[in-house]
Chain A
């Protein structure tokens, strides 16, 4: 299953400290040429933040460069009513299959983990395919509570198209990234001068998808991979485009991403899903930001297959702590976790208040684990 040689070679190639220092010097140089600070750029991917934090890259970024983590964690932007839908289905005796990260995401009054502790059946799965296997092995109703961006939505689309058994359904909380970039770019007082786009999503959508965005907003977009050198090289290219005032799309992940993307995966994605507007937790209503099943797949759509009455969860007011939570501002790049009065006190990974403290891709969880920007 693994090729350890390949893993070793990959590490040498994309984690080389010497090359990293070279790129760090290049970043410093370009930022000096820009001659003002801060230069603010945003990435929209939890995996980028994971990598930046895991390798301690922020300690070698120039002080003048502000790399903001945007709304790039699909678990974090799952809205409370979406969690509520899953909780209600679980309480009604339907087995919920979902990714482990979704368990602790707070709903209006309960998370799925809370529902589980009270007797509901929740199965943690590692793929959409595994959820279908569960359904095939039983006569019980299995509902796959599906989260994630384009990448995981394609996997969900594939199982919907592969003739799943009648006791299988999908509750889609899938989100689509490009529209939320528009929201951030149009926010009044936005500081974002460039976007680092997620390499894995772009393997499916293709880098050319961002051309229209760049044309409309005159903000450069660089597609980057996830190894430390991928990220640093992507940032160098991005600040060069900022310096030269030449907004365009650059693909710095050509070993995986093509301009047109994976046409076959796109066909599957859009055959099964349509975009609709909806709230992203803490961010805003995002037009075309949600992926929902098309009418022809109504029989696998949990929202049509079952009557989901959310009102019974709303007899309890949401905890007052959630009103203090600033996850939204953090995901919009306006605030840092340390600005939040709950961070590290009432809100910790064990007892998260906001979704950003739940997911391993959430800014608050990552900062809690790795210390954010400590001076080390």
Chain B
């Protein structure tokens, strides 16, 4: 091995993984496609595998499907208005299963990595919250793993949950067809804005609450009312509604038109987003779903959603068209434009 002289000590920015790669936008998708999923996407899978880049996997077992999904959770602060990392970890995985049409999860795993010095009282509080959320979702935690790392080797706590469920009908996020209606199950932006307000000490957290909740029962009601007419589902978490809609439009090669005045946004989220220069369509949600449904069944699905306490604000907010394939058009009520796709972590704009 010959000695090498480093011409430049500092690696070029393009050689490094940055926070942008974890923000749920285009940069993250490219990192996964180019690096993490490389090779695996070519391996044969009977069902929906990594290549589909869906919320989870669906593996065929006879005439049914085993749905599997996994999610790691890091959140600052750990306790926030409306929830905590434990509620988030259970809800996130239960909801990812539900988005594949599997609304009756069999069980969750829970892997926890804790930083040395973490308060036991906080750990107990997180455990109680997970237990309560599991009861809401009707799912047990069936196995787990615990590690402790040295002080400074991670920031507080990292939680990973994996969920499994069996379903007879899988719903992907790629099934939209022109003419389908787009339903949002409730107001948008609540989770991300509540966290940002808390994180930046914005003194408006009194009214802001995360929407984090398991919505498998709500989704079950929609699927039952839709009787096969639900064509695609996705939960608008990181990257918000804008990211989710772009992904759905691109995968199905349809255009999506969203009517902004019909999109439920709470007044306080709207004001906070405007003040921070943020677009509510880019803000994360943790208890909402975007549901694509055939036009004829849209009203029935909407009624079923609204009858559930977590769907009382559900609305038909748009429709799919054959034109502008892969794009999302926003009708602002004043005019039309393309909906912006978020890139990187939304940062408050200053001027």
Interface string of A1-29 (1 = CB under 8 A from B): 11010011000000101001000000000
Interface string of A108-141 (1 = CB under 8 A from B): 0000011001110000111100000000000000
Interface string of B322-349 (1 = CB under 8 A from A): 0010010111111111101101100111
Does B20 lie within 8 Å of A99, measured CB to CB? no
Does A275 touch B at the CB level, under 8 Å? no
Query: Which residues of chain B come closer than 8 Å to A376, judged between CB atoms?
Result: 324, 329, 336-338
- Give the contacts of A145-202 with B (CB-CB under 8 A): 148, 151-152
The residue on B at minimum CB distance from A3 is B271
Does A228 touch B at the CB level, under 8 Å? yes
- Give the contacts of B160-206 with A (CB-CB under 8 A): 202-204
Does B10 lie within 8 Å of A350, measured CB to CB? no
Q: Report the Cα distance A60→B327, complex, angstroms.
A: 20
Query: Which residues of chain B come closer than 8 Å to A228, judged between CB atoms?
Result: 334
Does B334 lie within 8 Å of A56, measured CB to CB? yes
Contact with B338, one of A117, A148, A351, A370 (Cβ below 8 angstroms):
A370
Query: Which residues of chain B come closer than 8 Å to A276, judged between CB atoms?
Result: none
Query: Which residues of chain A come closer than 8 Å to B335, judged between CB atoms?
Result: 20, 55-60
Q: Report the Cα distance A371→B340, complex, angstroms.
A: 8
Which of A2, A151, A349, A360 counts the most B-chain CB atoms under 10 A from its CB? A2
Does B53 touch A at the CB level, under 8 Å? no
Q: Report the Cα distance A73→B351, complex, angstroms.
A: 10
* Given known A-B contacts A55-B332, A56-B331, A127 and B268 have beta carbons under 8 A apart: no
Query: Which residues of chain A come closer than 8 Å to B332, judged between CB atoms?
Result: 54-56
Interface string of B54-98 (1 = CB under 8 A from A): 000000000000000000000000000000000000000000000
CB distance from A348 to the nearest CB of B (A): 8
Interface residues on A, range: 35 or more
Does A1 lie within 8 Å of B337, measured CB to CB? no
Does A2 lie within 8 Å of B330, measured CB to CB? no
Does B20 lie within 8 Å of A350, measured CB to CB? yes
CB distance from B219 to the nearest CB of A (A): 31
Does A4 lie within 8 Å of B271, measured CB to CB? yes
Query: Which residues of chain A come closer than 8 Å to B270, judged between CB atoms?
Result: 7
Contact with A54, one of B272, B337, B343 (Cβ below 8 angstroms):
B337
For the complex of A and B, the 3 pairs showing the least CB-CB separation, nearest first, are A56-B335, A371-B338, A56-B337
List residues of chain B with CB under 8 Å of any chain A CB.
10-11, 13-14, 16, 18, 20, 26-27, 202-204, 261, 267-268, 270-272, 274-275, 277, 324, 327, 329-338, 340-341, 343-344, 347-351
Interchain residue pairs with CB less than 8 A apart (25): A1-B204, A7-B267, A17-B261, A53-B337, A54-B337, A55-B332, A56-B332, A56-B335, A56-B337, A58-B335, A60-B334, A60-B335, A100-B348, A100-B349, A117-B11, A118-B10, A126-B348, A148-B351, A349-B343, A350-B26, A370-B337, A370-B338, A370-B340, A371-B338, A374-B338
